[in-house]
Chains A and B, each alone.
Chain A
Amino acid sequence: MVDIQQLFNGLSLGSLYALFAIGFALVFGILDRLNLAHPAVFAVAAYVGIELVTSLGISVWLMLPVVFVVGALLGLVIERVAFRPLNRRPDAHFAGLISSIALAGVFIALLQGRYGPDTQRFPAEALPGATFTVLGAQVSAVQVAILVISIVLVVALGLLVARTRLGRGMRAIAENPTAARVLGVNVDRVTATTFAISSALGAVAGALFALNVNTAQLGMGSAIELKGLAVIIVGGMSSLPGALVGGLVLGVAEVFTVQYLGSSWRDLVAFALLFLILVVRPQGLFGKRKVREV
């Protein structure tokens, strides 16, 4: 019974990792950029979500779509400020990486200026307190929501990339941005949209994370940042299904580590798993990205 309970704990934690990591994977897979402002979006979204619920008194479920939109707007800002001006530089990958770290610093500083260093929380009465018993395990409404929302968003994203005109544009850019432009794809618009979708997913992940533990801290993004990078490496840098599976694997591994080895080992085992996968299947990181799974 304890194991089933832990499996649920691991799946909801892991789907949060996946939702967060998919933002990384999307931008990296299509645009070949690593956006390290993504963890800051995660934190900003959590604070915005709490502000919305506290100040406007809206329900936590209504808050999530609003946070999704806020995240999308932040994604547009990140693309415009941290990446687009550097596009023509020969070292655009590295320059973008650094400038996105700088922008993340700005976001966090603004957050601290507005809210101070203290932990922020949802009002106790706003939290959905419902719990269900599934196979003898106690599962909270928030945990179920995390699992469902994450899977729905990831599947929807997969369909968007595979089936829509926008998705075709994304795939064309992933293959060759110059050729895509020649073929009439509006590269700037698709790039901006990719950032917006990526950040929107990261924002929902941040709000759900805060909801899950009723805690939002300035450092919450950096705490999950390495996990997110580990997830996309485990899953294969640019693969969306890979990020989903990688997230779930990491979450479950972490939870069972706590159960059987102790909490102090949780990060060690997660990153040992990362090394193991890199040794056994190095394609994720070092393989030629010829086969696009996006």
Chain B
Amino acid sequence: MRKIVTIATVSTLALALAACDSESGGGGSDGELVGEGSGADCTIGAPIPVGAALSLTGGAGSYGESQRNGLELAVAHLNDAESGVTYELSVEDDQTDPRQGITVFEGFVDGGSSIIIGPTLSNGAFQAQPIAQEGAVPVLAISNTADGITEQGDYIFRDSLTEGQVIPQTIAAATEEFGLEDVVVMYSNDDAFTESGYEVFAESLEAEGVEVSNTLTFSVSDTDFRPLLTEAAGAEPDAIVVSGLIEAAIPLVTQAREVGLDVPIIGGNGFNNPQLMSDAGEAAEGVVVGAAWNSASDNPENTDFLAAYEEEYGSQPDQFAAQAYAAMTIVDTAVRTNCSGERDDIQDGLTNISDLPTVLGPLSINENRDVEHEAVVQIVEDGSFAVLD
């Protein structure tokens, strides 16, 4: 009872203070999420509820775990800063199941979350996002790379670069570095993610004027690539370009070196995994892969993040953790733009993100609600990713 009275009192006060902002979308509150001041001076009385739908169990469980770590670390930093705005993060598991993702989204929409972060996989995002769009709740996707994610509506945003953004930069950098003239392309043709990756590779190679002397396909469950690699070696290419998942990447890279293919191997986002070096060992040397986050970047946001993550969790963060961490920087900026945690105000704030310094580097949200920032092209050297330049 006392709680209700408190909420009512705070709401009334907030309403009075923000009388001009009567159009703000409902956040399950009556204006208590509207603060005073602006930008860095913005002060909002109530904590802003942030819902995160992550895959903590199931096939994408390891990604969701990183994302949760990144989000919790970011929220802890924002709340510790005593900057006038606090966040209340609630993380729900979608079990890597789109149907469960829908349920989680419904819970957040009805439960008054000001913004929803996630879900982990593009597959689930396509199913769950319409619920937020209909409920007029802004969504910030933090790891989805498929085309069309943000086309689902004007409340859907993302801070993860798409394969379509990363791969052209990767091919351009590799072409320049190695003077590529003709390459062999390999991809698994029974998986939507790797097939769309292949299409971007093909377009980028054409744009760079690199000839594709042979295109070889394999199945997403294949592990023995020697026959294919032998055929690829017969074409004597300058490089092998592969769109495949990490499960294929490791045996493929190992066997390529065995059959004597010592040329650079250029991979899609599936290759962007430290497992590649730990499991393929020396064979991984010379693998080129584009990424949305440069772990070696020395901008102050990133160095602070690396140190804080290592201290909190005892391990190095990955790209998923970095993108999750950056999401809270973006949300905080969007909230402060209108000094409000109301859904429509955050949505408006998200459309105004420009050159924001984050762990991913300075980033902007474009008119399609997609993020824009520079990708980093990495090459494996001495067992770890180094920047190719």
Measured CB to CB, the residues of A under 8 A from B are: 1-2, 5-6, 9-10, 13, 117-119, 121, 123-125, 127, 129, 131, 138, 140, 212-215, 217, 219-220, 223, 254-255, 258-259, 262-264
Cβ contact within 8 Å between A127 and B250: no
B298 at the A interface (CB under 8 A): no
How does the 8 Å CB contact mask read for B36-75 relative to A, with 1 for contact and 0 for none?
0000000000000000000000010010000000000000
Render B169-196 as a binary contact track against A, CB cut-off 8 A, 1 for contact.
0000000000000000000010000000
- B151 contacts chain A at the CB level, 8 A cutoff: no
Asked whether A263 lies within 8 Å of B217 as measured between CB atoms, the reply is yes
A residues in contact with B222, CB < 8 Å: 263
B218, B234, B255, B283: the one within 8 Å of A263 (CB): B218
Contact partner, A124, options B189, B258, B260, B282, Cβ 8 Å: B282
Query: Would you call B281 and A264 a contact (CB within 8 A)?
Result: no
Contacts A138-B260, A262-B217, A263-B219 given; does A215 touch B231 at CB 8 Å: no
Q: Does B112 contact A (CB under 8 A)?
A: no
Partner of B230, one of A9, A119, A123, A223: A9
Q: In the assembled complex, which residues on chain B have CB atoms less than 8 Å from the CB atom of A223?
A: 221
Residue of A nearest to B279 (CB): A121
In the complex, number of A-B residue pairs with CB atoms less than 8 Å apart: 81
Contact B247 A13 (CB under 8 A): no
Minimum Cβ distance to chain A for residue B229 (Å): 9
B residues within 8 A CB of A212?
Answer: 224
User: In the complex, what residue of chain B is closest to A5 when comparing beta carbons?
Assistant: B230
Give the interface size bracket for B toward A. Answer: 20 to 34
Q: Across the interface, which residues of B come within 8 angstroms of A140, CB to CB?
A: 258
Minimum CB–CB distance for A209 against chain B, Å: 8
* Minimal Cβ-Cβ distance residue in B for A258: B227
A269 to B223, CA, bound (A): 19
Q: Report how far A258 CA is from B227 CA in the complex, Å.
A: 6
Q: Select A215's contact among B228, B233, B250, B260, beta carbons within 8 Å.
A: B250
Q: In the complex, are the beta carbons of B221 and A214 less than 8 A apart?
A: no
Q: In chain B, residues 242-273, which have Cβ atoms closer than 8 Å to a Cβ of chain A?
A: 247, 250-251, 254-255, 258-260
Interface presence of B307 (CB below 8 A): no
Residues of chain B within 8 A (CB-CB) of A5 are: 230, 233, 259
Within the complex, what minimum Cβ distance (angstroms) separates B367 from chain A?
A: 40
- Is B260 within 8 A of A258, CB to CB? no
**B278 located at the interface, meaning its Cβ lies under 8 Å from any Cβ of chain A in the complex:** yes
A residues near B260, Cβ cutoff 8 Å: 131, 138
B258 touches A131 (CB 8 A): yes
In the complex, what's the smallest C-beta–C-beta distance from A124 to chain B, in angstroms? Answer: 3
Q: Which residues of A contact B207 (CB under 8 A)?
A: none
Task: Report the bound CA distance from A61 to B242 in whole Å.
Answer: 32
A6 touches B255 (CB 8 A): no
Taken together as a complex, chains A and B put the C-alpha atoms of A2 and B232 apart, in Å, by: 10
A125 to chain B, nearest CB (A): 6
Contact, CB under 8 Å: B221 / A213: no
Q: Which residue in B216, B219, B231, B254 is a CB contact (below 8 Å) of A214?
A: B254
B282 engages A258 (CB within 8 Å): no
In the assembly, what is the distance between CA of A259 and CA of B62, in Å?
A: 36
Chain A's closest residue to B221 (CB) is A223
Residues of B within 8 A of A259 (CB): 227, 230-231
**A59 CA to B319 CA, complexed, in Å:** 35
Contacts of B219 in A (CB 8 A): 263-264
Whether A2 contacts B234 by the Cβ 8 Å rule is yes
Contacting A at CB under 8 A, from B105-163, are none
B259 touching A138, Cβ below 8 Å = yes
Q: Which residue of A lies closest to B216 (CB)?
A: A263
Contacts of A264 in B (CB 8 A): 189, 217, 219
**Bound state CA distance, A213 and B222, in angstroms?**
10
Contact B279 A124 (CB under 8 A): yes
B221: chain A residues within 8 A (beta carbon): 219, 223
B280 contacts the other chain (CB 8 A):
yes
